[in-house]
Structure 1
């Protein structure tokens, strides 16, 4: 694939030596993104090689095979030495957005088939008369209700009408339905009717793929449970075919082990787990960036960070607290209104809690009805891509603006494997932005750059504050191909004290995959007030989930002695409509008092106020995470030659706070040895990304190769300075 696209991988720095050894163990991370497919190869002492190629959406498994084959061959590496491959993909997300899943039906309790369309009747934009709502995965004519009723306490009010279900199963098979989601009322309390329905459906129509909500998402809240079950079974066939194809293709290359699959919660799992629960792969790529932030944060004793990842299509940001990214259990897919919360399909699955906005290198810039620059969320992606890619793109993008501003080298993009057309980018910005606004091309390009920075800073500020954090107190960790380029501007707009740019930032998601432990999350809904919970019941509930999680990890090859468990509860005050997740200890005689204390602490941290006294607390859901040991590989750049001159020239780069274009030194990142220091303005280039060091900023290179930036003044994205 790399050869076909004209984008081959290259050596990870001119000083990297590949030392052949029969006993070497290589660990490989591969991430398929919306624009690029990234690969990183790691050995015990650091990064061996990286690669980046344009994503081939039509045949992603073939693309993975090609980029892996080419990277191994280019660096003289043997596939037989590969001990682990960890893979993340946007396949599931794209299938849901593009509606490329199975011909699916929904079976519910009679009278409830419209739950997935009625949703919660929430208006995410209160005064929009033409409000656009997410389209259900299953149209109304393929949604069916059957007579049955289980009450909230688990008792059966009306038996399941199995004869009606048999007739329905025959009709579904005759109509060519491939998959069925079954979501009965209160099945998270008593799943007897759903299990019976599955038996009937498989007897009558054995070719149907059947998903039960009590298996996929055994939690309270009917709409979210139905939506999650539908999404899972809708893409399950596609995911199974893709993972089977990937397994075969990697074996053809000579790899001895099946790949592990990155999950959205920051853990990895065997292929069999991913096949059963493909919705847990939804945000697998962005999870890698957050895990990379954690790994480099630990190495540099930075436990709290703002992890910022900006690629070719979107930008994501999450909070890292005490060396852990925050986790949420609700995620929205296919937001139909500018990535606005509430405009997408809800999925209940553990994901790293991040905000996502349509701001990437391929984001399209245009003038709105007021004549002002707007950027995104529409993206040119990799097909056709920015104007400067010379692949048929005609609308100017963020990458085109960055090229005109001098931040990117047109001859050395992706290490020189892809040439950018600066003349075409300049002409597009002049015609589409500068001339209509009556300003110079450089000013228009800076307007694009500053606008996207300010958009990301505004979103990040709200995200951090809603989670009880002050962004001005958190250093920013940047990753993605455009993270080091735009991160300094976003960090200064937020008032962050500094910034950390890791090595191989442009492929950091694939590198972060290699720091992820085997992990699986389980949940049970059992509503009760805390003071009413019997200790033996609590202990049995957690023990049952622990047994299930341990078996899944053991089947994936994790020794039982290495498995650890983390317990949490979703809790709220009686009468509240929303809950917070609270980590809790093992059950003992003092368990209720300790849980009450931890809940009060979490409440105060989240909302900035002391929890009210004398109000009863209730539990909605019980959660357990089974986790294997952390991988031992170190995420670091191999040591470089001390004393080498890192400057390889200079070019004109635009810094409005210093009056415009400045002659700016360009440094080869691979020649910056640990302990090196620089003062801005400077451009620090590696193959996959460029770190823009603004005037007045200073940086030093840490032992692991990461670059730590400190800002002299707090500076807005527009270039205005604040003391």
Structure 2
């Protein structure tokens, strides 16, 4: 009988990470390959061929495959989506341009609103109307629909969004419209609001549907192209990682592409939570620094926080996502000087091509990776385990421009770049912790991604976080997360009722409807009944308020009409969010949410082999001159080989730990210990309080 393997591929801005897991031996094979921005599927295929060769297996031995991609994200951020037509209820075609009165920056008189994404001439008001209760007030005018679709076809528009008033209650008119589009313009892509975001609030639901339509043609073509190449390679068609921390089929991802926007970063958060569970740590903050950006998330009681509305480029997107903050500070982030002579970092990035100057691919602008190289923190001969040699002279040439502009020494500019980037990333940590009512000092910082171990302790010290964990396989941790993620589908309905005993039958009925949908979906994907899990949430608010808070509930609390328990959860969440709560005020239910989860068999992390007595001396590989932020000067410090370190080994800083695909920086007053799983645990002695400036 042949072995069976699980495969995960994560396409990032600079590198594509590949993880292959041997089910029989609990062994992981890891590798990286450069991403291919022109056609991301090439990087995926190259990575699969490389990992198959490393492991010495046949493609057909891969029985489970999950893929995470930033394809849709990059297309959105770079304004490379498709032209879209919008069909909406007559009289509401300007909703996506009017938006909300609320301003992200209250006193910025020159703030530009994000564009509507749909030209006004391609927004069509269709005669139809549903009431808020879902009754037909005005029958759909099919002639209106046909005329609008024909206009879109004549103008070469390949994607149509449909968002009718109150379709989340009754989608009849949207379904009729979809059928007409298929008859008139069968090759056109269709996005229906009741399928993309089945909730009330017209602006948010409409713009979410439009963004899905905007990204759908290219993303769908990418999936089709990838599927074709995988079949040629005889590799199984993958599941796709979702932004909510679950996985879905490629077919579903092709229709609901908006759920892939945080595909890669979500995997890292899931994996960090999994590792933390193995280590017995409940509360963590994840810090994922890649080539283009850094993503930060909070995991409480081993569960990531899920947000039901996030903003990307100023657009409110109403889809469940792991709550995270992203800043334009990655290894490829570029340094520049503004008109006032101040040194800045990002959000521009060198990307995969040409990459930082030291990659030797023609890059001429100074990046964070170049700074770390010039500061001695990266060994130019051991990047990717020696597979890629870095060009120090090219990095110097790039930084000489900034040195002249700022009138600072080369190392001062490089150190300044790193400090600025560290501050940006620390601010992102504050956004997911302090601004949400959490104290960072009560959390452990989990740092992963190729670049984060160089910056993690400086960020932790600035925020008063006492401990940092660099997980095993930290550089490919997002891909590892794909392998431990469960199948997950989220369902929502809206029906506003007071939270009182007389309403419990209606609340129970809503959850019964959602439960049936969830179970049917899991049955369709062949998830066994004993591997099916349904979880429940209610969106609650005080009567008269405009926005709500989502609260986890148990099915039993609804069945046994335990209103007091539900209210206490809401009051606690409200007080943590706003610092005040009046329990005497009446509360109402707005949305009902159910997550249908297909539990996947969990992988077992391979333990770090102990082939000697614990002693870090065996792992010492030399001495290197490195710039220390704890002393603001270059010093000769010990360098250790990450692959040689075993459980129980301890290192007192300052030191550098070189891995095949990452480098860990240990400053003065920092102590390292290796645990039985191969995780690097860094304890910060005398960690600064949260208002400290750190290094």
- 1:428 equivalent to 2:408? Answer no
Contact 1:503-1:637 at 8 Å conserved across structures: no
1:540 aligns with 2:519: no
The answer to whether the Cα contact below 8 Å between 2:608 and 2:646 also exists between their aligned partners in 1 is no
SS in 2 for 1:557: coil
Corresponding residue SS for 1:125: coil
Aligned counterparts of 2:653 and 2:564: Cα–Cα separation in 1: 54
Match among 480, 486, 503 for residue 472 of structure 2: 503
Deviation string 1:407-452 (CA, Å, 9 cap, x unpaired) is: 10111111111111112212322331x3333332212211111111
SS in 2 for 1:51: strand
SS at match of 1:376: strand
Report if aligned partners of 1:288, 1:508 keep a CA contact under 8 Å in 2.
yes
Q: Indicate the larger mover: 194-203 or 480-489.
A: 194-203
Contact 1:362–1:386 (CA under 8 A) maintained in structure 2? yes
Residue correspondence of structure 1 range 434-449 to structure 2 within 5 A: 434-449=403-418
Are the aligned partners of 2:608 and 2:647 in contact in 1 as well (CA < 8 Å)?
A: no
CA drift of 1:640 comes to 5.2
User: What residue in structure 2 maps to residue 465 of structure 1?
Assistant: 434
The Cα shift of 1:608 comes to: 3.8
- The Cα shift of 1:647 comes to 1.1
Q: 1:367 to 1:177 in 2, by over 3 A?
A: closer
Further displaced range: 472-481 or 707-716: 707-716
Aligned to 2:457: 488
TM-score normalised to the size of structure 2?
0.95
Aligned-pair CA distance for 1:707: 0.8
Correspondence 1:623 to 2:593:
yes
Q: Offset of 1:223 from its aligned partner? A: 0.9
Q: Deviations over 1:5-34 (max 9, x none)?
A: xxxxxxxxxxxxxxxxx5432212110011
Distance change (3 Å), C-alpha of 1:642 and 1:533: farther
Q: What does the per-residue CA deviation read over 1:35-62, in whole Å, with 9 as the maximum and x for residues that have no partner? A: 1111112224544321112210111112
The residue number in structure 2 matching 1:675 is 648
1:6: which partner in 2? none
TM-aligned CA deviation for residue 323 of structure 1: 0.6
Q: Deviations over 1:285-326 (max 9, x none)?
A: 000110111011001111100111000100010000011110
Which of 477, 481, 503 does residue 446 from structure 2 map onto?
477
Q: CA deviation at 1:231?
A: 1.8
Partner in structure 2 of residue 378 of structure 1: 348
Structure 2: gaps of 5 or more residues? none
**Aligned counterpart in structure 2 of residue 66 of structure 1, from 23, 41, 46:** 46
Q: Which residue does the alignment assign to 2:369? A: 399
Q: Is the 8 A contact 2:608 2:676 kept in 1?
A: no
- What does residue 107 of structure 1 align with? 87
Question: Residues 98 and 367 (structure 1 numbering): CA distance in 2 closer, same or farther, change over 3 Å?
Answer: closer
CA displacement 1:536-583 (0-9 Å, x = unmatched): 322222122122222222222311231010000111111222211101
Matching residue of 2:146 = 166
CA 107–659 in structure 1, closer or farther in 2 if over 3 Å, else same: closer
RMSD (CA atoms): 2.1
Whole-Å Cα distance in 2 between the matches of residues 50 and 112 of structure 1?
52
Pick from 256, 264, 268 the counterpart of residue 289 of structure 1.
Answer: 268
Tell me which residue corresponds to 2:297.
318
The 1:453/1:716 distance shift into structure 2, 3 A limit, reads farther
Aligned equivalents of 1:252, 1:638: Cα separation in 2: 37
CA contact (8 A) 1:489 1:717 kept: no
Secondary structure of 2:29's counterpart equals strand
For residues 189 and 712 of structure 1, what CA distance do their matches in structure 2 show?
A: 57
In the superposition, relative to structure 1, how do residues 41 and 531 fare at CA in structure 2: closer, same or farther (>3 Å)? same
Quote the offset at 1:455 in angstroms.
1.5
Cα 1:369–1:81 shift into 2, 3 Å: same
Q: In the aligned structure 2, how far is the partner of 1:245 from the partner of 1:553?
A: 27
- Residue equivalent to 1:417: 387
Q: Matched residue of 1:138: which SS?
A: coil
Structure 1 length as normaliser, TM-score? 0.91
Farther-moved stretch of structure 1 (279-288 vs 553-562): 553-562
CA–CA separation in structure 1 for the residues paired with 2:607 and 2:43: 26
Residue 637 and residue 264 in structure 1: after superposition, are their counterparts in 2 closer, same or farther (change >3 A)?
farther
Residue number among 648, 666, 678 corresponding to 1:693 in the alignment: 666
Question: 1:222 is matched with which residue: 202, 214, 217?
Answer: 202
Question: What's the secondary structure of 1:657's corresponding residue?
Answer: coil
Q: Paired residue for 2:326?
A: 356
Partner residue in 2 for 1:203: 183
Equivalent residue runs for 1:263-274 within 5 Å: 263-274=242-253
Which of 574, 589, 605 is the matching residue for 2:560?
A: 589
Name 1:684's counterpart in structure 2.
657
Going from structure 1 to structure 2, the CA distance change for 1:165 and 1:533 (only over 3 Å counts) comes to farther
Q: Is the 8 A contact 1:454 1:717 kept in 2?
A: no
- With 313-322 and 417-426 compared, the bigger mean Cα shift is at 417-426
1:660 corresponds to which of 628, 633, 651: 633
The answer to whether 1:572 aligns with 2:541 is: yes
SS at match of 2:536: strand
1:176 and 1:436 map into 2 onto residues whose CA distance is 48
CA distance in 2, matches of 1:446, 1:323: 35
Cα 1:718/1:416, change in 2 over 3 Å: farther
Q: Which deviates further from its counterpart, 79-88 or 318-327?
A: 79-88
Q: Which residue of 1 aligns with 2:9?
A: 30
Give 1:15's aligned residue: none
Structure-2 separation of matches of 1:279 and 1:596:
33
Identify the residue that residue 190 of structure 1 maps to in structure 2. 170
Aligned-residue offset at 1:584: 1.2
Could you tell me how far apart the structure 1 residues matched to 2:546 and 2:692 are?
43
| Count of equivalent residues | 689
- Contact 1:514–1:631 (CA<8 Å) still a contact in 2? no
Moved more, 302-311 or 623-632: 623-632
676-685 or 586-595: bigger deviation: 586-595
Residue by residue over 1:207-249, the C-alpha shift from the partner in whole angstroms, topping out at 9 and shown as x without a partner, is 3333221122110111111111112233223333222332232
Distance (Å, rounded) in 2 between the aligned partners of 1:438 and 1:589: 71
State yes or no: 1:54 paired with 2:34: yes
Shift of 1:474: 1.0
Structure 2 Cα separation of the partners of residues 312 and 705 of structure 1? 24
**Aligned-partner Cα distance in 2 for 1:448–1:361:** 11
How far apart are 1:141 and its partner, in Å?
Answer: 1.2
| Aligned mates of 2:609, 2:524 — CA distance in 1 | 38
1:327 matched to 2:306: yes
- What secondary structure does 2:453 align onto? helix
> Is 1:605 aligned with 2:576?
yes
Q: Secondary structure of the residue that 1:658 maps to in structure 2?
A: coil
CA distance in 2, matches of 1:312, 1:47: 27
The Cα of 1:706 is off from its aligned counterpart by 0.5
Q: Report the secondary structure of 2:168's partner residue.
A: coil
CA distance in 1, matches of 2:474, 2:197: 35
Measured against aligned partners, the alpha-carbon deviations of 1:89-132 in whole angstroms (never above 9, x if no partner) come to 01111222334334421011112111111111333233434322
- On the 8 A contact 2:332/2:368 being kept in 1, the answer is yes
- Distance in 2 of aligned mates of 1:71 and 1:693: 31
Q: Distance in 2 between matches of 1:533 and 1:544?
A: 19
Matched residue of 1:360: which SS?
coil
Is 1:238 aligned with 2:218?
yes
- 8 Å Cα contact 1:511/1:635 also seen in 2: no
Helix, strand or coil at the partner of 2:636: strand
Q: Does the 8 Å contact 1:136/1:345 carry over to 2?
A: no
SS state at 1:534 partner: helix
Report what 2:232 is aligned to.
252
